[in-house]
Chain A
Amino acid sequence: DSGVTQTPKHLITATGQRVTLRCSPRSGDLSVYWYQQSLDQGLQFLIQYYNGEERAKGNILERFSAQQFPDLHSELNLSSLELGDSALYFCASSVGKQGSSGNTIYFGEGSWLTVV
């Protein structure tokens, strides 16, 4: 158990809909990361927050948005969903703002999203 909690574990929704994925980082971790894993694209970095502020942006679509709240939990909002958005979405956390300069990044179990 990494200590990173993600909900829901599984989600099935229709095209055009909007969903919200939730993440609670490990206790004491200030950085939260979101990754998308799909068969064709592999593991793609979406976005990073540190202590409530956006820190780095990756291959995140404009239809997607995220935020980190004062209690450090984070939400990833996916809207106008398309079939190709079906993937496993991971949240990860680390202690520091430069997550990988020496700090380990811990991953949650992921949220399986299926768009039908």
Chain B
Amino acid sequence: SQQGEEDPQALSIQEGENATMNCSYKTSINNLQWYRQNSGRGLVHLILIRSNEREKHSGRLRVTLDTSKKSSSLLITASRAADTASYFCATATGANSKLTFGKGITLSVRP
């Protein structure tokens, strides 16, 4: 079963706009990670946020985590056509911190 549920399922924006993607989960987590996947390619790790952190930045990426609402958001600022990809949130839970992925969000950035 999916622990993380991303929202929306698909997002289409114009280059230069910001893209906001949300992830909700059900159980307590150790950390939450966001990954990007270009079509048919491997998963690229974007950012990890621990359960005791509320916000992290990495370049044009900003991730927030609200453990009380069991939700996270990924903001990509000043989007580029090259940001077109699928984005997944993955939650790490349990003693082994097993990663469970959501179904992903398809982001299309129009030039």
Secondary structure call for the B interface: strand
Q: Is the CB of B97 within 8 A of A109?
A: no
Choice from A100, A108, A112 contacting B97 with Cβ under 8 Å: A100
Closest to B91 in A: A100
The minimal Cβ–Cβ distance linking B30 to chain A, given in whole angstroms, is 5
Known: A107-B42, A107-B44, A110-B42. Is A102-B31 also a contact (CB below 8 A)? yes
Interface residues of B in 73-102 (CB under 8 A from A): 88, 90, 92, 95-102
Known: A90-B42, A100-B31. Is A42-B103 also a contact (CB below 8 A)? yes
Instruction: Report chain A residues within 8 Å CB of B96.
Output: 48, 55-56, 97-99
A45 at the interface (CB under 8 A from B): yes
The minimal Cβ–Cβ distance linking B51 to chain A, given in whole angstroms, is 10
Choice from B44, B92, B103 contacting A100 with Cβ under 8 Å: B92
Known: A42-B2, A105-B33. Is A99-B97 also a contact (CB below 8 A)? yes
The minimal Cβ–Cβ distance linking A32 to chain B, given in whole angstroms, is 13
Q: Is the CB of A2 within 8 A of B97?
A: no
A58 at the interface (CB under 8 A from B): yes
Q: In the complex the two chains form, what is the Cα distance from A48 to B96 in whole Å? A: 9
Known: A42-B103, A43-B101. Is A100-B30 also a contact (CB below 8 A)? yes
Closest to B35 in A: A107
Q: In the complex the two chains form, what is the Cα distance from A97 to B98 in whole Å? A: 10
Interface residues of B in 37-70 (CB under 8 A from A): 40-45, 48, 50
5 A/B residue pairs, CB under 8 Å, sorted by A? A100-B97, A101-B31, A102-B48, A106-B45, A112-B40
| Other 20 A-B pairs with CB < 8 A, given A42-B101, A43-B104 | A43-B43, A43-B88, A43-B90, A45-B99, A45-B100, A48-B98, A98-B30, A98-B96, A99-B96, A99-B97, A100-B30, A100-B31, A100-B33, A100-B99, A101-B30, A104-B33, A104-B45, A106-B45, A107-B42, A107-B45
